[in-house]
Chain A
Amino acid sequence: MSDLPPEKTHSDGAATAVLSVTDLVVELPLGLQRKVHAVSGVSFEIGRDETLGLVGESGCGKSTLAKALVRLVSPLSGKVLLSGQDVTRARGKALRSLRRNAQLIFQDPISSLNPRRTVLASLLETMSIWSTGDSDRAVRLLEQVGLDPSLVANRLPTQLSGGQCQRVSVARALSLSPSLLICDEPVSALDVSVQAQILNLLQDIREHHKLATLFISHDLSVVRNISNRIAVMYMGKLCELGSANEVYYRPLHPYTRLLLDSVPGLRSAGTGEPHAAGAPSAVNAPSAINPPTGCRFHTRCPFADDICSLQAPPMLEITPGHAAACHHPLT
C-alpha cells in the first residue's frame, strides 16, 4: 500500500464539506400523472473522513436519495454540491466526472458485478474508461481490500462468496479515487461473521482515503457502529440528525425511539415477554403517495396533538449538534 495513487487533488477552496445537500426534492412518477415526493426537502452535509449513517424503513426514500446524489434520478429542486460543484445542474462531461467522484456500493454484491467478467476485467474496465491505472494498480487495490489477487483476479463473481464480491465492489469503487462513497445496504445480504469483516474494511478504507461516506442501512446497530453521525428519515423527510451516540442513546424524535425500541436486543433474551414495540398499534404506516398533513409521523406518534397534524415541524437544533423535526421532542 506504499505506492497508492496520489490522494484527492480537488481544491475545493472554502467548502469543507465534501457533500452538501440543500432542500433536495425528488419526485417519482407513479403513472396516471400521479407523482410522489420520494425525497421531500432534505438537507445535510458530509465532511472529509466522515461517515453519515442514514436509517429509515423501506420506502422512506433512502435509496432514492442516494441515487439523486449522483443523478441516477434527477431531483425536482434543491441543490447537491459535491466538492463544491453542483451536481443538480451539471451536464455531459461535467456530470460524468462528478459521477466518477462519487462511487456507489450496492446491497447485492453478486448481482452488482458483471457475471461474465473476471474480477480483474471488471476492475480494469472501470479504470480504463477513466485511465486511472493499469493491472498493477488493480492488483494493489485487491490487496488493499483484503483479497489475494493470485486467487481471485481471474475468477468470475459466481465463483466467489458474497463477502469476497463485496470486497471487489469496494475495490472497484476505490479504483476511481472518489471523494464520496455511497454504500446502500452494503452488508444486509451477508452473514453476521462476514458482515463484521466488511464493516471493518469500510472503516479502514474511509480512514485511509479520508473519504466522505454515506452509509445507508435499516440496521440501527450496524449504522451506529460505523457512523460518526446518524440521520433518520421518515417518508421522504429527515426527522433527526445528530452524532451517533446522541441519536442512539438520547433520541429526540419519537420515530427514532420507535425504531430503537423495535431492534431486538441481544440482552433482552429470555424475558418471556415478546417485544413491546411489536404490540398491535392502532394505525398502520400511512402511504407515501398520500402523506399525512403536518408532521408526517403524527398518525403513529403517541405524543401527537393538534399542531402536529396541521403544521410540519421544521428541523431545529435542539441540543448542540443534534437536530430534530418535532413539535414535542423527547428530552
Chain B
Amino acid sequence: MTDPGGEAGLVEREGEFGGDGGGGPPGASPLLELRSLETTYTTDRGDLKVLDGVSLALDAGRILGLVGESGSGKTALLRSVMGLFPTSHVRMSGHVLLDGQDLLGLDRQALRRLWGSRIAMVFQDPMSSLNPVMRVGRQVSEGPRTSRHLGRSEARELALATLRSAGIRDASEIYGRFPHQLSGGLRQRVAIAIAIASAPQLLLADEPTTSLDVTIQAQILYLLGTLARQRRIAVVLVTHDLAVAASTSDTIAVMYAGRIVEMGPAATVMAVPRMRYTQALIRTSPQAHHEPGARLEVIPGRPADPIDLAPGCAFAPRCGYADERCLTIRPELEITQSDTTHRFACWNPSDSRMVAPEGPALRQRDDDERPAT
C-alpha cells in the first residue's frame, strides 16, 4: 500500500503540468480527507492531545481556511497531514486520505516521494524556510530535478516558468539572486514557486501572509486563489486572521483546542456563525461598523490549555452562554438542519446574523476585561 501511491502519483501528475484535471480517479471522492485524526504528543507533563478527532474533506481546486488562535492545533494539523512529526514523541491515529491513499502508515521514504510532488508546504517566514546560500533558481528547480530527473536546461526552463506563475515578472533576473536580496513579498512568492514546482495536488500554507504588509498580503492571497483555480490545487490556508480566511477561502473551519468547532462555506460561517466561539471571534475583531474609540467586545480568559481541558466544550469556561451541559458533555460537530454543508459543535448555538451584533454580551470578567477601577 505504501509504494505504489507515491510512484503512481508522480507519473500521473507528470503529464498535466499545465493543470487541467483534478488528479486521481474521477468521481465524488475528495482529494484530501481526514477521518477522526488524533495527534498526541507525549510530554513530561503527560499526554497532550493536540488534535482531537478532526474530520474534514477538501476537493481539488478548493481553498480551506483554517482559523484559530495560537495553540488551537492549526499547525499540528498541517504537520500531521504532511507527516512531519517524529514518531518517537508523537502518536497519530485516524486516517489522512490523499486521493484515497492513507498517508498515516507510510514510512519516511514513501513520504519523501510525496513531498513536493503531491503535497507541498509554504511556511510563515520565507527567510527561514529558504536556503540562504543557494540561488533562488536552483532552489526552485531542485525538487523537479531530483524527482523527474530533468536535465539542466529543462530544469531552468521549468524554474523560470514556475517563478512566473508565482507572479514574479522578471523571473530571469530573480533566478540568479539569493533570498536575502529579495523583499519579503518576493521571498514568499519564491517559497510558493518552490512549493508548486513539482505540480503538487495539495498545498499547505501555514500563515503565509502573517509577516507581510497588507498590500503584499493582498497580492499573495490573490496568487493562492489563482493557483487553486487555474491549477486545480487544493489549498489549506492556515491563518489566525479571520478576515484573511473569509476573503480567500471557499470553506472555513474554525479550530479550538484541537477540534474543529465550526465548518462551512465561508460566506455562511461569516454571516451566520452558529458556534459561540466563532461568533465571539468575529465580534472581537475591529470592524467597519464600530465607531472609532468604541470598546471592542472581548473574549474573556485565554485560549484553552490542551493539557488541562474541561470535560465538556473546551470553550465553555470563556463562553457567556455556557450552561451545565456545556461544562460536562462535549458537543459534536453536527450539520445544521437548513444547510447540510454547515457544521458546528455547540449546545447553545447562535441564531443571529452578524450584521447587527445583538444578544447578551459575552460574560464580562474583571480580571481579563478591563483594569480594575
Contacts and interface: CB of A to CB of B under 8 A. Distances in A.
Interface in A254-286: 258-259, 261-272, 274-275, 277-280, 284-285
B221 A193 contact: no
B21 interface: no
Given A265-B243, A270-B267, A200 B296 contact: yes
Interface string B238-269: 00111110111110100000000000011111
Contacts of A192: 69, 240-242, 281, 284-285
Nearest to A249: B288
Contacts of A265: 243, 246-247, 288
Given A197-B368, A199-B286, A221-B286, A264 B297 contact: no
Contact of A196 (B218, B219, B268, B284): B284
Contact of B369 (A197, A259, A275): A197
A1 interface: yes
Contacts of A148: 367
Given A144-B371, A193-B69, A264-B244, A274 B222 contact: yes
Interface string A44-76: 000000000000011000000000000000000
B270 A269 contact: yes
A201 B370 contact: yes
Interface stretch (A85-93, A94-102, A123-131, A223-231): A223-231
A225 B286 contact: yes
B256 to A, nearest CB: 11
Contacts of B285: 192, 196, 221, 266
B294 A225 contact: yes
A266 B167 contact: no
Question: Which of A196, A204, A263 is most buried by chain B, counting CB atoms within 10 A of its CB?
Answer: A196
A277 B218 contact: yes
Interface string A175-215: 00000000000000001111111011101110010000000
Interface of A: 1, 57-58, 143-146, 148, 161, 163, 191-197, 199-201, 203-205, 208, 218-222, 224-228, 243-245, 248, 258-259, 261-272, 274-275, 277-280, 284-285
Task: Give the top 4 A-B pairs by smallest Cβ distance, nearest first.
Answer: A270-B267, A278-B222, A274-B225, A278-B218
